């Protein structure tokens, strides 16, 4: 547990409050089923994890549309999408922003993959990727590589946005080569 979390938990306990939910859950472990979800995309269409069964899914959580780090990460996925698709992968982004914000972000940067609106943070919470600070919620910058059977193949809990897409491509190359 990070050193600053312990005092906050003690204060919350003293005041009779629950600690922020982001601290309660752990990200799903490798080789366990990925938590299911159904969320609206930037066009308002509901998209579910099961729709991509049979393909690799690069499920990435990000804090906020149109911010520097999130833009760098999204554009790197966009620029590498042909490589990811050649490896049988679908990129899917999730944040707590709404569909209208996702639509503007996707249009501005020509992002050709779904951005899902997790407005209440429930899905991010199930993936251990939510900061819930009572008045404000946002997703942690976590990525999960989900295999074609729907299991977590890799977790990325410390993401460097400038090289993250390349890291995932390397891991996908290794995983797909091992499966052949």
Q: Looking at 13-17, 61-65, 112-116, which range is the least confident one?
A: 13-17
Average pLDDT on 139-152 reads 97
pLDDT tens digits along 81-93: 999 999 999 999 9
pLDDT given for residue 123 in this prediction: 96
Domain-embedded: residue 42: yes
Domain-embedded: residue 12: no
Q: Looking at 116-125, 132-141, 161-170, which range is the least confident one?
A: 132-141
| Residues near 93 by beta carbon (within 8 Å), at least 6 away in sequence | 60, 61, 62, 74, 77, 111, 113, 114, 115, 116
Residue whose entry in the numeric block shows the structure tokens 């992968």: 89
What percent of the chain shows pLDDT beyond 90? 78
What percent of the chain shows pLDDT beyond 70? 87
pLDDT tens digits along 21-47: 444 478 999 999 999 999 999 999 999
178 band by pLDDT with thresholds 50, 70 and 90: confident
Please report, for the domain that includes residue 127, its CATH number: 3.40.30.10
Catalytic one among 22, 34, 57, 70? Answer: 70
Domain-embedded: residue 10: no
The residue range of the domain holding 85 is 20-179
Domain-embedded: residue 109: yes
Could you give the CA distance from residue 157 to residue 141 in angstroms, rounded to a whole number?
A: 7
Cβ–Cβ under 8 Å, residues 74 and 62: yes
Q: How many CB atoms lie within 10 A of CB 117?
A: 22
7 band by pLDDT with thresholds 50, 70 and 90: low
State the average pLDDT for the chain.
89
Domain-embedded: residue 9: no
Average pLDDT on 161-179 reads 93
Domain-embedded: residue 127: yes
pTM: 0.86
Domain-embedded: residue 68: yes
Per the annotation, the verdict on 12 as an active-site residue is: no
If one counts the domains in the chain, the total is 1
Domain-embedded: residue 111: yes
């Amino acid at each position: 547990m990070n050193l600053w979390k312990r005092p906050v938990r003690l204060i919350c306990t003293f005041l009779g409050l629950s600690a922020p939910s982001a601290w309660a859950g752990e990200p799903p472990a490798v080789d366990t089923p990925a938590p299911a979800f159904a969320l609206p995309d930037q066009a308002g269409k509901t998209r579910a994890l099961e729709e991509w069964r049979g393909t690799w899914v690069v499920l990435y959580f990000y804090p906020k549309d149109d911010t520097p780090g999130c833009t760098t990460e999204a554009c790197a996925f966009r620029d590498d999408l042909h490589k990811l698709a050649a490896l049988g992968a679908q990129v899917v982004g999730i944040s707590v922003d709404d569909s209208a914000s996702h639509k503007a972000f996707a249009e501005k940067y020509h992002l050709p993959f779904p951005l899902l609106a997790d407005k209440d943070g429930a899905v991010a919470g199930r993936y251990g990727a939510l900061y819930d600070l009572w008045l404000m919620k946002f997703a942690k910058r976590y990525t999960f590589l989900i295999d074609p059977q729907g299991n977590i193949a890799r977790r990325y809990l410390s993401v460097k946005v400038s090289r993250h897409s390349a890291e995932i491509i390397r891991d996908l190359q290794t995983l797909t080569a091992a499966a052949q």
